[in-house]
Amino acid sequence: MAPCYPPVVMRSSYEELLRENRRLRKENQELRAHLEKTQVQLKEAQTKIAALEKELRRRHRQAAPFSRDESKPDPKPPGRRPGQGRFSRREVPPENKIQQTIAVPLESCPYCGGSLTDCATHEQVQIDLPPVEPVVIRFRTESGYCPRCGKRVRSRHPDQVSEATGAAGVSVGPRAKALAADLKHRLGIPYRKIADLFETAFGLEVTGSGLCQAEVRLAAKAEPIYEELVEAIRCCACVHVDETGWRIGVLSAWLWVFTSRTITVYTIDESRSHEVVVEILGEEFRGVLISDCFTAYDHRALAKWLKQKCFAHFLHELSKLSQEKKRGAVRFPRELLAILREALELKENKPRLSEAEFQVCFRGLEERLDALIAERRRFSDPDNARLAKRLRKQREHLFTFLEMEEVEATNNQAERALRPAVIVRKTGGCNRTPAGAQTHSILASLLVTMKQQGQDPLDYLAKVLTARGKLPSLALQRSPPGA
């Protein structure tokens, strides 16, 4: 039997072990670097997932779906904003306005019944709403046949809304209908709640459907005034424009607003294209169109128009980028943010500067902006590259507000004009029919324009309802014509 020998083990040389050690060290370093990179990516992914989950939860919230994610570090105090009127206490009404004086004697201490000394008299004036009851007016009219005209004619009082008799002989008066229109189309209160308010506060029994039908008739009578507003806004020096989503029945639509210093026009259209802008402002608009960067406002049909792009949108996006970006990518939004803020300060200081000083500052801002967004620059961050491309596209529409005194840098006026429509959309569910959309466009335009011009909507709409001839115009107070 042959002897069993142990296997021969080949021992590596020192050089081979050294090479193997170097190889393993290199692999270890690569694995560590890959692990660190993976951990960074995992952390970024977890952050994005948390942000998306937070956004998803917020979208499902009914209360404050558009609230801020974080509170401001230096929030403004509540109350009146600077420049919004003089702060003072409520003034005491004059004697001829005080309808009743009530004396409240104090003969003894209300706690122990003891006698009082060092007595004094105090006055407090209380302003309240009196109980309101509907004014019921009966009109007795006469009718007769005219052999000369061959018609049957009828007398009518100037305060009558209609000549209906019989089953429709009891109707709601013009001021009640005007108030319902204001509550619905300017303040966004639904018809049923308006009917409830009328019954609770005024003792006037109406139905939501009755108010709806009355406002359709009111809008039909006011349509010529609406057309005058459309013609008048075409002559304004500056027009702010914006749009928001809407619905007509089950169809998607858009509510547009065109507003100036004294005139506001709403229109509801199924299109979100430039054709709506041309339809309202006309092809030969000579004013300045103030808007955001939506592509409809950059169509070639509007290429010759003077424009101002909203600074607020740029400032909001730049502030967000300056908080999110890291290292070198944060320099671009911060530098651009500084330029835009300096432009706003220059507009504010323009009255205190000479023309030469203003032009030096203005040209300096333009040169810095052009160098910052130059096409030859290469951006490693895609968000910065996208923003620079957009600014190059809108370059000639950024500083119009510095060249023309009446132009504002932001489109806040149009966004404020959209807020009542957003409330109507939230509470009333937009419109069910094209006729309802037309009614809302007409009445909302009239009511907001009256608010701008300081007119009483109840008196004005009551005149519209009772007018038999020429309707009272709202287009008399026009802004100065554009350049």
**Residue labelled with tokens 């008799």:** 165
- Tens-place pLDDT, residues 415-454: 999 988 888 888 777 888 999 999 999 999 999 999 999 9
Convert 147-167 into a string of H (helix), E (strand) and C (coil).
CCCCEEEECCCCCCCCCCCHH
Q: What is the pLDDT of residue 329?
A: 85
Confidence class of residue 165 from pLDDT cuts 50, 70 and 90?
confident
Q: Which residues contact 325 (CB under 8 A, 6 or more apart)?
A: 333, 381, 383, 384
- Tens-place pLDDT, residues 259-300: 999 999 999 999 999 999 999 999 889 999 999 989 999 999
**Residue labelled with tokens 């000083």:** 357
Ramachandran category for residue 211: left, alpha or beta (phi over 0 → left; psi -120 to 50 → alpha): alpha
The distance of Cα 165 from the centroid of its chain, to the nearest Å, equals 44
Task: Using the predicted structure, report yes or no on whether residue 5 has a pLDDT greater than 70.
Answer: no
Element (H, E) at 297: none
Ramachandran category for residue 85: left, alpha or beta (phi over 0 → left; psi -120 to 50 → alpha): left
Lowest mean pLDDT among 68-72, 76-80, 209-213: 68-72
